[in-house]
Structure 1
């Protein structure tokens, strides 16, 4: 099964992009090749570009507090497992405390590092990080993999509380809503949302169908049009019905 997610607003779109970058970073930083560590470091620079919104930290803190108050309301519910509820509340408190403790603008420690900023400036240029452009960076790439790993993890560390907050907010969001099984007639599906506000859509489809959803939505209407790919990978309209699961998520 393949899961497709579609954000309904800019805040969730930013979080999903940062989550995707974090997954990429997590993969490449664990590798040993200098080329793979170059991608990990470049990904940190991309994170700074996406996370540049000044209100992202405050948005996350407000959302964590709102989720905490909502979860506290379940304390008296006999159908809720108290151990699991307490564990989530403790996790929210820990992440909120760590995020509040971060100082300055997101990634300020990197912006104040002239060496890293020189690398960032050259990586914008295609092929701009060659050894003749950045000999000191090339020398660093010759260090043992363990040392490079420790350096990159150290540069990322001040960003970790932000990504912990994004992770739990998206996790809680994905757990809202209930899945509905739907058949898209002739590869198309429309649903009126009647002005109700949602944060994110999740669509699950069998990969063997080779159907690719193209999603557009606003607070009034949802439209999913399925396409498929031929040998040239150019998308074309899917012929036939497409069964899938749909979840509309909202706090």
Structure 2
């Protein structure tokens, strides 16, 4: 099944983008080829751009505290394993403390690295990181893989507290949803959202054998899914198929 996720607000949209970039970085850093490490550095710069929002740190800390308060309310509930609950709350406390002691914005320490900022100023130019433009960077790419991996891990660690916090928040958010089977009739699905609840994330699973791509839109009242037919090397066009989907609403 292919999983598509749709955020209902800008805060979750930012979390999803950062989560995607952190996952990509985790894939690229352990590799050994210089090209992989070039794109790892490019990913670091993308993370810096997304994390540059002035309110990101405060938003994450507020969400951590909100989750902690909600989970603390389950203490004494016989249906809840106290040991597991204590572990999750301890993780939230650890994330909050790590962010609270982090000076400035996420990754701010990297802006003081003139060598990295020199690469950042050139990397958006097509072919702008060739050896005649950045000979020092070219020489770095010829270092042994272990040295490059150590440098990348050190730079990535400046985002460690943010990455761990967002991973924790998104896991708890996803766990809050209950999957349900729904039917998209004639390539369309519209569903009114329950009143009295504020949903933050929609998750939609589609069988890849159907060769369908969803166009999702939504607000606090309703979600709409329009299915598009996906043919290799062709533009998408509306589908009229009636197919089953798995829909999860997370709050």
Q: Which TM-score tier does this pair reach, normalised by the shorter chain?
A: over 0.9
Q: Secondary structure at the match of 2:233?
A: coil
Q: Is the CA contact (8 Å cut-off) linking 1:31 and 1:37 kept in structure 2?
A: yes
TM-score normalised over the length of structure 2: 0.97
CA contact 1:102–1:158 (8 Å) conserved in 2: no
* CA distance in structure 2 between the aligned counterparts of 1:177 and 1:31, rounded to whole angstroms: 35
SS class of match (1:213): strand
Displacement, 1:100?
A: 1.1
TM-superposed deviation, 1:227:
0.8
Match of 1:187 in 2: 187
Q: How many angstroms does 1:87 deviate by?
A: 1.1
Q: Is the 8 A contact 2:211 2:231 kept in 1?
A: no
Q: Alpha-carbon deviation of 1:212?
A: 1.0
Mapped partners of 2:210, 2:233: distance in 1: 18
Structure 2: stretches of 5+ with no match in the other structure: none
Equivalent position SS for 2:131: coil
Q: Distance in 1 between matches of 2:163 and 2:152?
A: 16
Aligned ranges for residues 87-166 of structure 1 at < 5 Å?
Answer: 87-166=87-166
CA RMSD of aligned residues (A): 1.1
- Shift of the 75–210 alpha-carbon distance from structure 1 to 2, 3 Å rule, reads same
Query: Counterpart in 2 of 1:207?
Result: 208
2:67 matched to which residue of 1? Answer: 67
Output the CA distance in 1 between the equivalents of 2:13 and 2:94: 25
Q: CA deviation at 1:237?
A: 1.4
Give the equivalent residue in structure 2 for 1:219.
220
Q: TM-score, normalised by structure 1?
A: 0.97
Contact preservation (8 Å) 1:211, 1:242? no
Deviations 1:125-153 (A, max 9, x none): 11100000000000111110000000011
1:183/1:242 contact within 8 Å kept: yes
Per-residue deviation, 1:58: 0.8
Instruction: Report how many residues are paired.
Output: 250
SS in 2 for 1:94: helix
Q: Tell me how far 1:232 sits from its aligned partner.
A: 2.8
Kindly indicate whether the alpha-carbon contact (under 8 Å) linking 1:194 and 1:219 is maintained by their aligned counterparts in 2.
no
List, as ranges, runs of 4+ consecutive aligned residues in structure 1 with deviation greater than 3 Å. Answer: none
**3-state DSSP of counterpart to 2:129:** coil
**Any conservation in 2 of the 1:213–1:225 contact (CA below 8 Å)?**
yes
**Cα deviation digits, residues 100-127 of structure 1 (max 9, x gap):** 1111122211111111100000001111
Structure 1 unmatched ranges of 5 or more = none
- Mapped partners of 1:170, 1:233: distance in 2: 34
